[in-house]
Amino acid sequence: MSVPHGVEPHSLTLAPRLNWLRAGVLGANDGIVSIAALVVGVAAATNETLPVVIAGTAGIIAGSLSMALGEYVSVSSQRDSEAALIERERQELTDFPEAELQELAELYEAKGLSPATAMTVATELTSNDALAAHLEAELGIDELQLTNPWHAAVSSALSFLAGAALPMLAITLAEESIRIPLTFAASLVALGLTGGIGAYLGHSPLLRPVIRVMTGGALALAVTWGIGLLLGGEVAL
């Protein structure tokens, strides 16, 4: 009788999805910290709401565009490299089929299979889809799962926007007397959530990542708040 052990990510198609989720969590985390630190700093320097709104809006637009552009360039470079590797492997299979078959068998033999079994596995996989077999065994690439740079860019921008929305709403909608502490509190809670989600996706203990990300966020907010107070006081003088 088999013992159920839960759902495990055995499928190769699950890995890209988890990577996207982690990237989304990091983008949201970046949006929370960047915009919260920005608006808290400005709010500490002035009692007026308009400068805070202008600074926060500019920060959100700039941050979203920066995240999208950076992710697009990064993923495009990765995709170009993977496409070049795929084309080279395809050419090698055309030019040196026997040597490639032997190479594939040696890879499986290195994983613990006997020479005869490794050659049998390599032969059957080659007869089914030689290119896919070599890409998976040699390079860890799935030709059908290459990352789309446009998807990456849009995903990064949206995750940044989602994270930035919370501190922006907190600082603009709250009363002046409580807007800074409320933004502090809301941002730290949100950072705790993103840290916990990131830890869960990475199958690591929750407490340490949550404390780490909340501590980093609190330091960033405290620094910009202090700078805002200092600069605001100098302007008043």
- Could you read off the pLDDT tens digit of each residue along the chain, which spans 237 residues? 444 444 444 444 555 666 667 777 888 999 999 999 999 999 999 989 999 999 999 999 999 999 999 989 988 998 899 889 899 989 988 899 898 888 889 888 888 889 899 899 889 988 888 888 888 888 888 777 777 888 888 888 999 999 999 999 999 998 888 999 999 999 999 999 988 888 887 778 888 889 999 999 999 999 999 999 898 865 444
What does DSSP assign to residue 147?
P
Task: For the chain, give the number of residues.
Answer: 237
Q: What is the model's pTM?
A: 0.76
What's residue 203's pLDDT?
79
Query: How far is it, in rounded angstroms, from Cα 208 to Cα 191?
Result: 13
Per DSSP, helices labelled H in the chain are 14-45, 50-95, 97-110, 115-134, 149-173, 179-201, 207-236
What's residue 19's pLDDT?
64
What's residue 11's pLDDT?
47
What's residue 26's pLDDT?
83
Nearest to 67 by CA among 16, 29, 39: 29
Phi and psi at 203, nearest 5°, equal 55, 40
CB 164 within 8 A of CB 63: yes
Q: Mark 131-157 as b/e (b = at least 16 C-beta within 10 Å).
A: bebbbbbeeebeeeeebebeebbebbb
Nearest to 108 by CA among 97, 121, 124: 121
What's residue 234's pLDDT?
54
